[in-house]
Amino acid sequence: MKTVLIVTRTFGKYSSEPIDLLKNNGFDLRWSDSLDPDILKNVDAIILGTGKLSGDIIQNSSLKIIARNGVGVDNVDLKTATQMGIPVTITVNANTISVAELTMGLIFVLSRKIVAVHNELYERKRFSSSIGVELFGKILGIIGFGAIGKETAKRALCLGMKVLAYDPFVDKQTMAQYSVECVDMETLLKTSDFVSLHLPLNQSTRKLIGKKEFEMMKKTAFLINTSRGGIVDEVALVEALRQNQIAGAALDAFEIEPLPEDSVLYNCPNLILTPHIGAHTYEAIYKMNMMAAQSVVDFFNKKLPKHIANGEVAEKLLKQGFSQ
Ligand code: NAD
């Protein structure tokens, strides 16, 4: 009997279907709150949340497949997994709509200062008059025009916003099909009223948005990051907000999570923080859980799981006789 270790708090919490899917296919399930190297020496598969799976742990484990319960792979040492021939699967599109909707929510919150006025009224009983901005006619600049970037663009266009995008891997024609204008990053930063990040964290995107980028943005502009912490230089962001270099920002992802108690982000003006809730909807959790469980089932049935992040391993599996 194959054993699957589940290291993500939401798996099977709101629906038993993902658990049933694994059990009905003969898997033994184990649960853990942490990535204990000793436990990982005795399991065949892992369904992984956001915990960091280092190269060392992977190398000393008995894992045959790593199924991410999400789309980012920045918490998995992909190089080691690839060297060891271990497929790392992701749950593409399962949380796309949820993240795009949260992004729009944060845009609304920033544009009308909803959290600030709520706090004034609720905590200080002050009926303050606050002036916001309309979204209609404003420019949304999207950095990273993948699944979430596209869904965010569709929603912004419905509100009468103009949408620009920068993505070195997506062509002008594709963007035009979505009624989005393809621009370079400098143009996007200089002209957008809202800049929203929807790109992966990797070596080339770490601290992509820092002091220089904030200086390019309009003083009336807002930054929204529902992608990954680490893409935004948090110290430079706080400085930009304190100096009124930009009007405000909203972050759902942080360089260190959970956000440390001494983070520079606390007590910063015009900053909205949400605790990495982009994918936290019943719908997204259900889809992610089912896709992750299905990847494990497929793999042990010698069927190539959908959405393998390390393509080299997918090719090897096909050569070994896995069906598509
Ligand atoms: P995706 O792979 O569909 O799209 C990412 C896009 O970023 C791609 O089109 C890629 O070409 C582009 N890109 C890569 N490098 C770039 C660069 N240097 N500059 C500009 N664009 C670049 O991924 P997605 O599903 O749209 O997810 C986007 C981000 O959202 C990821 O970082 C993911 O981890 C994050 N995410 C966050 C949450 C959350 O809970 N907040 C949930 C899901 C995904």
Cα–Cα distances in angstroms (integers) from residue 152 to residues 27, 308, 311, in the given order:
38, 25, 27
**How many whole angstroms from 227 Cα to the centroid of ligand 1?**
6
Q: Which atom of ligand 1 is nearest to the CA of 98?
A: 42
Ligand 1: residue whose CA is nearest its atom 36: 227
Q: Show the ligand 1 pocket: residues with CB < 6 angstroms.
A: 70-72, 95-96, 99, 143-149, 166-170, 198-201, 204-205, 226-228, 252-253, 276, 278-279
Q: Whose CA is nearest to atom 32 of ligand 1?
A: 200
Instruction: Tell me what pLDDT residue 227 has.
Output: 97
Report the C-alpha gap between 79 and 252 in whole angstroms: 27
H/E stretch holding 188 = helix 185-191
Amino acid identity, residue 108? F
φ, ψ of residue 104 in degrees (nearest 5):
-65, -40
User: Residue 28 C-alpha to ligand 1 middle, in angstroms?
Assistant: 33
Residue 128's pLDDT is what? 86
Residue nearest to atom 38 of ligand 1 (CA): 278
Between the alpha carbon of residue 284 and those of residues 11, 91, 188, 262, the distances in Å are: 11, 10, 30, 31
> Which is nearest to 87 in space by CA: 58, 49, 60?
58
pLDDT of residue 242: 98
Residues carrying an active site annotation: 228, 257, 276
Cα of 50 vs centre of ligand 1, distance in Å, is 15
Nearest-atom number in ligand 1 for the CA of 70 is 43
Residue 28 has a pLDDT of 98
Query: Considering the entire predicted model, what is its pTM?
Result: 0.93
Domains of the chain (ranges; CATH) run 3-93+282-319 (3.40.50.720), 96-273 (3.40.50.720)
Tally of CA atoms within 13 A in the half-sphere of 76 that contains its CB: 28
pLDDT, averaged in runs of 10, over the chain (324 residues)? 96 97 98 96 97 96 97 95 98 97 98 97 94 98 98 98 98 98 98 98 97 98 98 98 98 96 96 96 97 98 98 97 96
Cα-to-centroid distance, 43 and ligand 1 (Å)? 30
Interacting residues of 119 by C-beta distance below 8 A, sequence separation 6+: none
